[in-house]
């Protein structure tokens, strides 16, 4: 059954971050009947019971406190987050969970014992266009660009969720910006949320994009070829900005299935110039660096391990690589040395 959407209803609904690129004038109908659910499908839902997520990150980046019976515009998606939820798409439209503040509707299978049960939501309907086709985020991507010149890409990977990857990437953006480089930033995997993008902008990135700008609410369980295409699409977009260097973040730990698949992919190895490894401990640094060196050059170690001088020394001893604190990366000296070295290597390979 299809019903016409009242424009006032859409404008008064709390619109989640993942829907920020959606053209509101295309939202015309609501589909209320059960049917197949796809990642990225747009959903109008009602908050039924407040759980772990007490606020929704809006398209503006502001967090809006949620109340029961609030209507929210979100998107379906899977979620992989060892510190929060493991969640998958429902088989059909029915009561489900808000599993991320950025606006992901899903079915929570399990969650970390340190957090509460998820906020429960009741679907009102899938949002459709005037022809009755369900609106999916894949409609809304940054423009396709041809890569005429590929800037050097430095990718930040890590031992786990919350190992300090974003802090490392932001510090790298800040340091290179301080040295006068035009820096583009991209997060190619993860769960839709705006916090990391705002941090990249605040650090001085001339442009910052993520997988939601390639039309995905989440990258968990997405086909690897689609992730390859999205990464190339987003890097090409940044290259046309233009920028001198691109800092890329690959979410979660290096053994997570999408992260591991991308790192091992020859196409990604051709795209990425070198890696910076964010570790939560010296043990994580040792195992992670050894694995990463099979697939590319690792410049050094950063992340939470650098909060401890003792753990840093242990990591340096076992890996043979130096550890760099966020403050050291933000100064830009070492980042500039890496960039000059990588660009020199590229020139030699071209000759």
Residue 125 located in a structural domain: yes
Percent of all residues in the chain with a pLDDT value above 90, rounded to a whole number = 91
Q: Do both 103 and 160 map to the same domain?
A: no
Q: Which of 156, 186, 158 is nearest to 172 (CA)?
A: 156
Q: Do both 80 and 197 map to the same domain?
A: no
Q: Do both 99 and 182 map to the same domain?
A: no
Which residue, of 139, 173, 196, is where some domain finishes?
139
Residue 62 located in a structural domain: yes
- pLDDT tens digits along 223-270: 999 999 999 999 999 999 999 999 999 999 999 999 999 999 999 999
Residue 164 located in a structural domain: yes
Range of the domain at 205: 152-350
- pLDDT tens digits along 94-126: 999 999 999 999 999 999 999 999 999 999 999
Which residue, of 117, 139, 161, is where some domain finishes?
139
Cα(227)–Cα(34) distance, integer angstroms: 29
Query: Which pLDDT score, from 0 to 100, does residue 350 have?
Result: 47
Residue 42 located in a structural domain: yes
Average pLDDT over residues 58-86: 97
Contact 110, 79 (CB under 8 A): no
Banded model confidence at residue 148, pLDDT cuts 50, 70, 90: confident
Q: Do both 58 and 127 map to the same domain?
A: yes
Q: Do both 207 and 135 map to the same domain?
A: no
pLDDT: which is higher, 144 or 90: 90
Residue 25 located in a structural domain: yes
Which residue, of 98, 118, 139, is where some domain finishes?
139
Q: Do both 156 and 134 map to the same domain?
A: no
**Type and span of the H or E element at 269:** helix 266-271
Q: Do both 130 and 158 map to the same domain?
A: no
Q: Is the pLDDT of residue 299 over 90?
A: yes
Q: Do both 131 and 168 map to the same domain?
A: no
CATH of residue 330's domain is 3.40.50.300
Q: Do both 127 and 170 map to the same domain?
A: no
Q: Do both 218 and 265 map to the same domain?
A: yes
Query: Which pLDDT score, from 0 to 100, does residue 264 have?
Result: 97
Query: Which pLDDT score, from 0 to 100, does residue 346 have?
Result: 63
Q: Do both 115 and 194 map to the same domain?
A: no
Cα(116)–Cα(84) distance, integer angstroms: 9
**DSSP codes, 272-339:** --EEEEE-SSHHHHHHHHHHHTTTS-EEEEESGGGG-HHHHHHHHHHHS--B--HHHHHH-HHHHHHH
What total number of domains does the chain contain? 2
- pLDDT tens digits along 1-25: 789 998 889 989 999 999 999 999 9
Contact 311, 152 (CB under 8 A): no
Residue 145 located in a structural domain: no
Cα(131)–Cα(31) distance, integer angstroms: 12
Residue 144 located in a structural domain: no
Residue 146 located in a structural domain: no
Q: Do both 233 and 119 map to the same domain?
A: no
């Amino acid at each position: 059954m299809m019903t016409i959407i009242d424009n006032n209803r859409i404008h008064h609904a709390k619109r989640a971050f993942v829907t920020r690129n959606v053209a509101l004038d295309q939202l015309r109908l609501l589909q209320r009947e059960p049917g197949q659910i796809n990642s990225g499908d747009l959903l109008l839902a009602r908050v039924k019971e407040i759980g772990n997520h007490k606020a929704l990150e809006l398209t503006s980046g502001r967090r809006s406190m949620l109340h029961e019976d609030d209507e929210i515009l979100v998107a379906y998606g899977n979620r992989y987050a060892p510190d929060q939820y493991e969640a998958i798409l429902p088989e059909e439209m029915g009561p489900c969970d808000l599993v991320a503040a950025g606006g992901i509707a899903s079915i929570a299978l399990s969650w970390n014992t340190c957090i509460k049960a998820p906020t429960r939501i009741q679907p009102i309907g899938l949002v459709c266009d005037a022809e009755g086709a369900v609106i999916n985020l894949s409609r809304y991507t940054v423009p396709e660009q041809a890569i005429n010149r590929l800037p050097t890409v430095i990718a930040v990977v890590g031992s786990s969720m919350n190992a300090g990857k974003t802090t490392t990437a932001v510090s790298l953006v800040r340091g290179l910006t301080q040295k006068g480089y035009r820096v583009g930033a991209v997060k190619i995997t993860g769960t839709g949320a705006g916090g990391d993008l705002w941090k990249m902008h605040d650090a001085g990135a001339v442009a910052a994009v993520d997988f939601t700008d390639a039309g995905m609410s989440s990258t968990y369980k997405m086909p690897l070829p689609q992730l390859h295409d999205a990464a190339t699409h987003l890097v090409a977009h940044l290259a046309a900005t233009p920028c001198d260097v691109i800092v890329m973040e690959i979410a979660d730990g290096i053994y997570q299935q999408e992260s591991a698949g991308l790192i091992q992919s020859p196409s990604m190895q051709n795209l990425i110039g070198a890696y910076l490894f964010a570790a939560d401990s010296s043990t994580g640094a040792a195992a992670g660096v050894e694995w990463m060196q099979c697939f590319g050059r690792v410049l050094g170690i950063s992340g939470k391990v650098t909060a401890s001088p003792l753990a840093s020394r242990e990591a340096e001893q076992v890996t043979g690589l130096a550890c760099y604190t966020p403050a050291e990366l933000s100064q830009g000296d070492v980042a500039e040395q890496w960039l000059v070295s990588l660009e020199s290597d590229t020139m030699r390979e071209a000759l």
